[in-house]
Amino acid sequence: MVNRLKRDQPQLFPHLHKGTVAKWINTTERQWSQATLNNVKNGHTLSGSGQSGILTGYPAIQDDIIERLKSLRQSRLPINVIVAHSIMLAVIHIQAPELLTKFKCSEKFVRSFFDSVLNWSPRKGTRTVAKLPVNAEEKCLGGASEQSLPLANAHGMSDAWDYGFDLTFAKSDRRGSHFSTLKTMKEWVAHMFEPYFQHVIETDPGLDDHQISIIYLDCYPVHTSEAFCLYVFKEYPYMILCFVPTGCTGIFQPADIGLNHVIKHQIKQHQTEYLVATHQEQINSGLTTEQVKFTTSLPDHSVMNWSKSLGSVVE
């Protein structure tokens, strides 16, 4: 089968081999597997088929991308979708920028390229680390003191405060808790929600001083705890707590839909732009693909640009 396909369709199956075809077949029933049939029905690529969509018409670009990705992999740099996405965009931008006006190099396309052309499956990498201290989790995630916060004179802190960020540590009676805690929820109500609520009343002439407010929360244990509910009822009797049914935040929680999703998308977009610029800068300086490095830290200027962009999104 492989030899015949290569002979009859050399442009379509130049890289096809027996191992790839074996993945498409249900060996028990000696027919195409259900996954293969579903992929064909949905128009998805088949692993190792060599098809790269619109890049098929740009063999030089495709070969350059493949060479760079394989070289980086040989240098033991973990290649994930974000890194590959940035490399693809950089190569296309250099060799055929007009292609980006009619083609969206999405992460979905990158995954398809991985699967079809390289026969790679993206997965999380592992790391070999030094012996961990017994309280490693507490050190990294506990956030039990002000030592876990940025310094007051840290770069960008004044901008963060101007945007209304309130940084605090998540100390909790529950060992290792680092998400929302009773302490942080009380501080959020007192430092964030209450000032915002009073500001709305002061600026809206249609509201009186006895206005009732609603706090719409998910069913996280701290939110529904007796301690937090009693705190709100006692300190802020004009606040009514309402809860999103468990498992329904993706549909009924405004913050997830209208704010968190937008912010995460913005962060990912800036990350991709940063990686593309970094890759292009190093290649243009004369480095070979094997010499290109992606730093795992974040430069201060990038933090500033990201925070300003996120501030404009929130506004």
Residue carrying the six token digits 């509910």? 229
Taken as a whole, the chain contains a residue count of 315
To the question of pTM greater than 0.95 for the whole model, the response is no
Does residue 211 lie within any of the structural domains? yes
Residue by residue, pLDDT tens for the chain (315 residues) are 778 777 776 766 666 777 777 777 877 777 888 877 776 665 455 555 555 677 878 889 988 888 888 877 766 666 778 878 888 888 888 888 888 888 778 888 888 888 778 878 766 544 444 455 555 555 555 566 777 778 888 888 888 888 888 888 877 666 655 668 899 999 999 999 999 999 999 999 999 888 999 999 988 899 999 999 999 999 999 999 999 888 887 777 777 777 777 787 777 777 777 776 777 677 778 877 667 676 655 454 455 455 555 555 555
CA distance 149 to 238: 32
Same domain for 148 and 45, yes or no, is no
Neighbours of 47 (CB within 10 A): 21
239 phi, psi to nearest 5 deg: -105, 130
- Domains in the chain, number: 2
Structural domain range at position 158 = 144-257
Residue 58 near residue 129, CB atoms below 8 Å: no
Task: Please identify, among 225, 257, 289, the residue that sits at the C-terminal boundary of a domain.
Answer: 257
CA distance 119 to 46: 9
Task: Please identify, among 34, 49, 64, the residue that sits at the C-terminal boundary of a domain.
Answer: 49
Residue 205 DSSP code = T
Does residue 105 lie within any of the structural domains? no
Tell me the CB-side half-sphere exposure of residue 177, using CA atoms within 13 A. Answer: 15
Task: Please identify, among 49, 68, 83, the residue that sits at the C-terminal boundary of a domain.
Answer: 49
**Chain CA centroid to CA 198, Å:** 35
CA distance 279 to 186: 45
Does residue 7 lie within any of the structural domains? yes
